[in-house]
Structure 1
Amino acid sequence: MKTPNSLLSDWLQRTGWSRGELARRVHAKALEWKHPHVFADASSVRRWLQGESPRWPVPDILADVFSAHFGTRVTAYDLGLDAETVTDRALVYSQSFADTVESVADLGRADVDRRKFLTGSTFAVAAAVGPSRDWLLQTLDQTPEPGRNVRFEDVTAVKNMFGVFQQMDIFQGGGSGRLALAAYMSEHVYPLLRQAHADDVRQALCEAASEQTYLLGWMAYDNGEHGTAQRYLIQSLRLAEESRNPALGAHVLAGMADQATLLGHPEEGRKLAQAGRNGLSKIAPESNACLADLWALEGRALARLGDKRSAAHAVVASEHAYSNVDQDNEPEWARFIDPAYLNGEHANTFRDLDDNAQAAEFARRSIAHAKSQQRARRGAMSQAALAASHLQNRDLEAAHAAGVRTLNLSQQVKSSRCVEAVNDLRRRMVPYGHHPLVADFNERARTLLAA
């Protein structure tokens, strides 16, 4: 039995309208928005009040109708009608900057409130590649809406917060700090996007908002919430386009490529990484750190596809790009792209190619750098790659030792990727049956997984 929509009822009561009047206004707004197929009458409104969820774009139309009447922003979320539209809208790479702002703002609010429909959202393969095409092709001609001017000081304050949250992610994992970042974005950053800006301030603000929206997506990704992550990344890409920063857009595409490959869609991962490289090729000087990342992730995807020669070429290209990095001229969001990270990605590439010697060599390089930086998450994942290479060489004792180090490091962070790395090792140890070392590893792993 449906639960009556008390929120919508309260808003309607405040207007003093009848059900028929609300239906008339919805129909008029639908025609204005060029949705002549949308039908609404008093019976439709009665069903919505009784708890029926109208299909898109009706929730957005209702929000606009109430917003116009009250002279303040009213969202579908406020009307109790967002359970479908927040998740669906956030998968759309909209040509409208205003729509993008509302999509990402509603997404952030739902994330802060930990709405069940959002935490249960899934990764949509069909939505993975389209935004990269749109990012490459679209041009921008939106003008800001009237309102209070946003100043460079506002943008600087936003950018200063980025480093704090990025460090939190790098050293503590995506499960730590994300809700604090989501609340900060919802309360302080996304509202700024609705206000007026000079063109240069507008671009800088969109760049800062894109960086932090990407970080929200990355944190959700690292915490295993892939539907939420995908939606943040798509909206981050659109904000990057608005900022006219191709390097930042390419960086977002790298994250999207990483996610697609991880979730078993390496062909989409390859396309996304290539789209990022194509975007970088249009600017000078390009971000060599970002280019190195894109090549590394293309190599990961190619390895999953079984293309050994192309994957090996991608690793070489990644190393070459990184050799040209000038850290002083790289953006702050690229700071994590370093030997600890890249060598770890290359280790996984060669692991998937069954090249044990290369996998072990790159894993050891990554482990050494991660240890010197006290980066537990990266160290754990690279220790897991090393353990996998030992298992492929049938050296169970060495694999167990690396596996235990993986567990010890994983306990220091809140990261579903570390948990998945542990589970992957458990699966790889299955052929060894009930060997005491396997039993010991599984027992230690159960403690971590229970936590």
Structure 2
Amino acid sequence: MSKAARGPNEKLGTLLALAGISNAGLARRVNDLGSQRGLTLRYDKTSVARWVSKGMVPQGAAPHLIAAAIGQKLGRPVPLHEIGLADADPAPEVGLAFPRDVGDAVRSATDLWRLDLAGRRDFLAGSFAVTAYATPASRWLITPADGSVARHVTEPTSQRVGHSDVSKLREAAEDARRWDSKYGGGDWRSGMVPECLRVEAAPLLLGAYSDEVGRSLFGATAELTRLAGWMAFDTGQQEAAQRYYIQALRLARAAADVPLGGYVLASMSLQATYRGFADEGVDLAQAALERNRGLATARTMSFFHLVEARAHAKAGEAAACGTAIGAAEAQLERSRKGDPDPSWLGFYSYDRLAADAAECYRDLGAPLQVRRFTEKAMASPTEEFVRSHGLRLVVSAVAELELGNLDAACAVGTRALEVAGRISSARTTEYVRDLLHRLEPYGNDTRVMELRERARPLLAAPA
């Protein structure tokens, strides 16, 4: 259904011409984007003609899908007002702002938390746009910490927040990290993180607290929000992840926690790299590094260098990647047991460095290096990081295949499938899918056919 005509929508027509999209092309793109979000849309070139020539406004998610479709072609976000649809439901814009004011930042974050992203596919109408990270990153670089964040509320019903309240949030974050590593971002327990933000964290941020308690509170909520983004990223909900990451970075600024802000930027970098925006991934990782020089621990800086290496590898920059891996190794060697490393870095050790280095060399097409680092990464597998173990197995299988060892590739691939079947992770499934794609030239081989048959339940499972 569409709202009544308002006269020709010249803005939409102009932008379609600028993007070089025909009426039929836009209809197809909108239908495809809707299908990706579980929506059944049947727009055609006549529908688009009505939007342009008669100014009809499509209802539901369609205006945001139109903006997303045009934005994909132009390579930048397209706001609704630019296509003459500013009076559509503004909800899908929630979570993309990086307010300068602390009070506005609280509203921006809590507005996002109140929305059930998993249950509102119409809300997630905008596609991932790496350019949406530009303003948050630049504002954080210019001012990585707010002034006083104390909140004085006179209403007698307002909650007074103390350190014990913050401790509960930190415990929840620690539990969530363990769940995520062991069961994947799609495990049912992962839904407890958004619920914790809505039910527990939001009332605390709207309560009364001193500057000291407030900083700690903003830090804890930033950790939880980043975790919600990471879990969304792991399950393929890229739009939700992007919104959570932006709000996590803003909360980290309110916490005056520069290393945590760097960690959020590193998460943004990994997402950008994964989505094919390697240059932007390099920029985000380097932003984390530059702001944290002299502030973060050696182990923290090592991780940021490693994230930078991942982006360089995806961009095909072998020399820069090697330099970044070398810097990551050097920083990790400098780290000491008594260093004040943040709790959220508990996952990071040489095993993780070796695993990511293996992925770097996979992207650079150097299977011998992949094998060398994978052997180091898998020297001491642990049940605590099940998803990581599964990903390492897939990367190892790819290396063996590229080295001409089909039997070893299928054997390791079978082990990877056993692990993948125990977790809920869209990323892991994509890694498996990539391995099977690489095995297609050997499709008639019995070992490959058996592996493909074993993978069928995993690939058929709903995302």
* TM-score bracket for this pair, using the shorter chain length: 0.7 to 0.9
Other-structure match for 2:137: 132
AA of the residue aligned to 1:388: V
Other-structure match for 2:300: 290
Tell me the distance in 1 between the aligned counterparts of 2:337 and 2:88. Answer: 44
Whether 1:172 aligns to 2:177 is no
Aligned partner (choices 199, 205, 210) of residue 193 of structure 1: 205
Other-structure match for 1:40: none
Whether 1:221 aligns to 2:233 is yes
Aligned partner (choices 348, 358, 361) of residue 347 of structure 1: 358
Other-structure match for 2:460: 450
Whether 1:157 aligns to 2:177 is no
Number of residue equivalences: 378
Tell me the distance in 1 between the aligned counterparts of 2:228 and 2:60. Answer: 31
Whether 1:313 aligns to 2:323 is yes
Tell me the distance in 1 between the aligned counterparts of 2:331 and 2:177. Answer: 23
Other-structure match for 1:104: 109
Tell me the distance in 2 between the aligned counterparts of 1:130 and 1:326. Answer: 36
Other-structure match for 2:244: 232
Tell me the distance in 1 between the aligned counterparts of 2:241 and 2:170. Answer: 21
Tell me the distance in 2 between the aligned counterparts of 1:450 and 1:406. Answer: 17
Whether 1:406 aligns to 2:430 is no
Structure 1 residues 119 and 326: alpha-carbon distance in aligned structure 2, compared to 1, 3 A threshold = farther
Aligned partner (choices 203, 208, 231) of residue 220 of structure 2: 208
Deviates more, 1:307-316 or 1:149-158: 149-158
Tell me the distance in 2 between the aligned counterparts of 1:319 and 1:430. Answer: 36
Q: Which runs of 4+ in 1 moved over 6 A?
A: 50-53
Structure 1 residues 51 and 356: alpha-carbon distance in aligned structure 2, compared to 1, 3 A threshold = closer
AA of the residue aligned to 1:243: A
Tell me the distance in 2 between the aligned counterparts of 1:331 and 1:252. Answer: 13
Deviates more, 1:424-433 or 1:229-238: 424-433
Q: Deviation of residue 83 (structure 1)?
A: 8.3
- Aligned ranges for residues 8-87 of structure 1 at < 5 Å? 84-87=89-92
Aligned partner (choices 380, 383, 396) of residue 386 of structure 1: 396
Aligned partner (choices 116, 141, 144) of residue 147 of structure 2: 141
Q: Match of 1:129, SS?
A: helix
Cα offsets for 1:75-110 (capped at 9, x unmatched): xxxxxx998534323112111222222222222222
Cα offsets for 1:355-390 (capped at 9, x unmatched): 111111111222233x23452211111111111111
Whether 1:357 aligns to 2:368 is yes
Aligned partner (choices 334, 342, 351) of residue 331 of structure 1: 342
Q: State the identity %.
A: 31
Is 1:129–1:268's contact at 8 Å kept on the other side of the alignment?
Answer: no
Whether 1:396 aligns to 2:406 is yes
Q: Match of 1:123, SS?
A: coil
TM-score for both structures, normalised by structure 1: 0.79
TM-score for both structures, normalised by structure 2: 0.77
AA of the residue aligned to 1:251: Y
AA of the residue aligned to 1:367: M
Is 1:2–1:52's contact at 8 Å kept on the other side of the alignment?
Answer: no
Other-structure match for 1:437: 447
Other-structure match for 1:8: none
Aligned partner (choices 422, 425, 429) of residue 435 of structure 2: 425
Q: Cα RMSD between the aligned structures?
A: 2.5
Structure 1 residues 333 and 351: alpha-carbon distance in aligned structure 2, compared to 1, 3 A threshold = same
Tell me the distance in 1 between the aligned counterparts of 2:445 and 2:91. Answer: 49
Structure 1 residues 113 and 221: alpha-carbon distance in aligned structure 2, compared to 1, 3 A threshold = closer
Deviates more, 1:123-132 or 1:320-329: 320-329
Tell me the distance in 2 between the aligned counterparts of 1:213 and 1:179. Answer: 12
Tell me the distance in 2 between the aligned counterparts of 1:181 and 1:433. Answer: 42
Tell me the distance in 1 between the aligned counterparts of 2:284 and 2:60. Answer: 38
Cα offsets for 1:230-284 (capped at 9, x unmatched): 110110001001111111001111100000000000000000000000111152x
Tell me the distance in 2 between the aligned counterparts of 1:360 and 1:161. Answer: 37
Structure 1 residues 427 and 247: alpha-carbon distance in aligned structure 2, compared to 1, 3 A threshold = same
Tell me the distance in 1 between the aligned counterparts of 2:279 and 2:208. Answer: 41
AA of the residue aligned to 2:454: R
Aligned partner (choices 261, 265, 269) of residue 277 of structure 2: 265
Is 1:250–1:290's contact at 8 Å kept on the other side of the alignment?
Answer: no
Other-structure match for 1:253: 265
Q: Deviation of residue 145 (structure 1)?
A: 4.3
Q: Deviation of residue 130 (structure 1)?
A: 2.9
Tell me the distance in 2 between the aligned counterparts of 1:282 and 1:153. Answer: 31
Structure 1 residues 96 and 83: alpha-carbon distance in aligned structure 2, compared to 1, 3 A threshold = farther
Tell me the distance in 1 between the aligned counterparts of 2:232 and 2:206. Answer: 25
Structure 1 residues 346 and 143: alpha-carbon distance in aligned structure 2, compared to 1, 3 A threshold = closer
Tell me the distance in 2 between the aligned counterparts of 1:295 and 1:94. Answer: 28
Tell me the distance in 2 between the aligned counterparts of 1:356 and 1:123. Answer: 31
Other-structure match for 1:91: 96
Gap regions ≥5 residues in structure 2: 4-57, 65-85
Structure 1 residues 282 and 242: alpha-carbon distance in aligned structure 2, compared to 1, 3 A threshold = farther
Tell me the distance in 2 between the aligned counterparts of 1:448 and 1:213. Answer: 29
